Chains A and B, each alone.
Chain A
């Protein structure tokens, strides 16, 4: 079993120096988010994550969620931990104060969620799904639906789910077949089967509120005929308490590679006469509502990549310090801890540098989300929103792909022990694996990035981001000590610019070739964005040192940024070539040749 210590100092550094939390705290409604409060929140969330959630991570994985007789029993300790999570008020951190939330900025929530996900990813999915359902109801729910569900869901007393996928409707939701038939009294009867429903059933809360995509009887074919329904596990009595059991049952749970403690349910609606539900928003607009929430959901999964990488890094460092094996390559009197070996050191730096770059990108995007929602100037809101829209597929795709890479390196640092389940490093590797798949695979993120986010607008937002990167590059010119970072960043920007230009120019002409390079482009964009943030981090650290701050954190930050420049950012040029020149060979073979 391993411990988790929230990386509070790096979190605070990123929040203040790179994510401009001071500007977020000036936005209307966020005035409470002062430094001292944010610090107190992060401190306490870190204690809770390390003390309550982290100890259940390994045991939860070993025991797994269990399904017996159409109901799920959570692994030992989860019910109590969830109770404590709710009692301590964490569920409503960034949610609407009108219904009992604390209304804190998304950028604060991002740091806190990183802790939940790092300490116990399987646990964290339950509040995450609930938050998504809450946002949907807030956005388009009727007053009656809000009054019935929101307060209990924001407090976490009731949890929420998203029922989208069906066996024939995975990435393509146009194929959804679940039916919703009007009952003549304002309610509907829902019939159909949903799969891959995270926390579709469990024993941690007294009610589960399912949001379900379904078709009404005369709905048009395809994506234009899908509506959203709210279907509670227990119908809600007039006094607000859970009443009669609804016809929505968990008929099995999946056996998965990872996140064993998170029950992934097969849900059967309407096997015994119809599950009672009500329409959310307007008929046939369901998919549109889902897309509005998509940014938040994809962002949250991106954070999982960062979080699991942080946890894998902490575990690898602890092992590398502890494990004595082999003599130092330059010679030593006895055996040394493996952290002394240059290749182990390189792996730890590869993990650390990418974790820090991911955190910086993720929090910067969260801060932009706050700006896009709350900034008084509409032009600034639009500018920030464009940045967020561009970066969401990068946060989702790049952070999760990198999370997998880091978790894999974590196993490698452990050597043979890493392959043994009892060590615990393997769990992070297995848990990370889903993150590049759910909420849209990396391929889907990359297509969204090159198509909707870049080609459709002629690369306008990308150009604006490139200009900001160039600005940082020029700021580096004044710092002789950061020359290697400046050089790598300059090459990275040039690579991103070239590849982006190719996408804009060729998307309409030869979309297949461009799309074959979509994932390499997403990685390129992630790596260069990370390099940009690490360069800004190095500048901020340099300024602290110049001002006389003797904290060892700052020289370490600069060294880590230099490592990132030399080992990660320098891969940008190759990726750009892959994007520009690689399409033809990827598509060269005829289908029959496979």
Chain B
């Protein structure tokens, strides 16, 4: 069984993100980039399924600029068998990524697509759902446990929902998005980092896939969250209650 793991190159989670001076977006110049942590969990899950003998091939796919190759190499160092870069300088929005992935899925015919539930840069939480809809496949989002039964052609997914856990059975092929507690990604081993360099990495483009990746949404303005204002000292309980009721409007 083949699994596709879409991964996104994002600003490293350790980096303090800055907004560009002109408010047109986040400053990415000379910023350390890394694989989206939720996608790392997806790679880890696919590799564990392969190590367990359930999956035969893990293909990492990334859409974006040429530098995404580094992120694909990281995925291959963690255990993905090969990588596909959909190379484009266009600003990619979730729907465009979902369409590109749909085209890659058509080409690769996997039984399962596992991807992060969202990326830590825009936190959109849309790509997995859109991809499932475009493919007409069943989806299970926010997975905290994934059990694949290839013989029965189904996957059982436990997902984290408000107030507890929900368990779903999906017919394969399916789309699964990963939550934080699904697994703890490994550290890549040195021999695997070196081997990753020699694993196949194919480059496609939106044009060769026949997908129009043009953005549908325009970014109007990006601003820093407002700085927290200094607190004030209240004179007595009556004033506190008054402020809670009339200024903060948190009590009636």
Contacts and interface: CB of A to CB of B under 8 A. Distances in A.
Given A5-B14, A102-B194, A550-B29, A44 B188 contact: yes
Contacts of B146: none
Interface string A549-563: 111110000000000
A37 B30 contact: no
Interface stretch (B69-77, B132-140, B155-163, B203-211): B69-77
Nearest to B198: A32
Given A40-B196, A550-B29, A48 B187 contact: yes
Given A36-B197, A550-B30, A102 B73 contact: no
Contacts of B77: 40, 44
Interface string B55-89: 00000000000000010011001000000000000
B150 interface: no
A90 B190 contact: yes
B233 to A, nearest CB: 15
B30 A551 contact: yes
B226 interface: no
A102 B30 contact: no
Most buried by A among B14, B187, B192: B187
A41 B193 contact: yes
B199 to A, nearest CB: 12
Interface in A53-87: 84, 87
B245 interface: no
A36 B187 contact: no
A88 B196 contact: no
B190 A89 contact: yes
Task: Determine which residue in A5, A51, A102 has the highest number of CB atoms from chain B within 10 A of its CB, and name it.
Answer: A102
A311 to B, nearest CB: 17
B246 interface: no
Nearest to A50: B14
A102 B187 contact: no
A52 B29 contact: no
Contacts of B190: 41, 44, 88-90, 92-93, 102
A37 B194 contact: yes
A84 B187 contact: yes
A39 B193 CA distance: 10
A505 interface: no
A88 B187 contact: yes
A40 B188 CA distance: 10
B184 to A, nearest CB: 11
A224 interface: no
A47 interface: yes
Contacts of A32: 194, 197
B189 interface: yes
A8 interface: yes
Contact of B70 (A39, A551, A552): A39
Given A36-B197, A39-B70, A40-B73, A8 B32 contact: yes
Nearest to A34: B197
A549 B29 CA distance: 10
B191 interface: yes
Contacts of A9: 32
A9 B32 CA distance: 9
Interface string B131-174: 00000000000000000000000000000000000000000000
Given A37-B197, A550-B30, A89 B14 contact: no
A362 to B, nearest CB: 21
A299 to B, nearest CB: 21
Contacts of B193: 37, 40-41, 44
B83 to A, nearest CB: 13
Nearest to A37: B197
Given A40-B196, A102-B194, A550-B30, A89 B189 contact: yes
A36 B30 contact: no
A84 B188 CA distance: 11
A5 B191 CA distance: 23
Most buried by A among B74, B187, B190, B192: B190
A86 B197 CA distance: 21
B80 to A, nearest CB: 14
Contacts of A88: 187-190
Contacts of A40: 70, 73-74, 77, 193, 196-197
A88 B32 CA distance: 24
A102 B77 CA distance: 15
Contacts of A52: 187
Nearest to B73: A40
Nearest to A103: B194
A32 B196 CA distance: 12
Contacts of A51: 187
Nearest to A3: B14
A294 B93 CA distance: 58
A102 B70 contact: no
B71 to A, nearest CB: 11
Contacts of B191: 89, 102
Given A37-B193, A90-B190, A552-B30, 15 more contacts: A36-B70, A36-B197, A39-B70, A40-B73, A40-B77, A41-B193, A44-B193, A47-B187, A51-B187, A84-B187, A88-B187, A88-B188, A93-B190, A102-B194, A551-B30
16 contacts: A32-B194, A36-B73, A37-B194, A39-B70, A41-B193, A43-B74, A44-B188, A44-B193, A87-B189, A88-B187, A89-B189, A89-B191, A102-B190, A550-B29, A551-B29, A551-B30
Ranked 6 nearest A-B pairs via Cβ: A89-B190, A551-B30, A88-B189, A89-B189, A89-B191, A44-B188
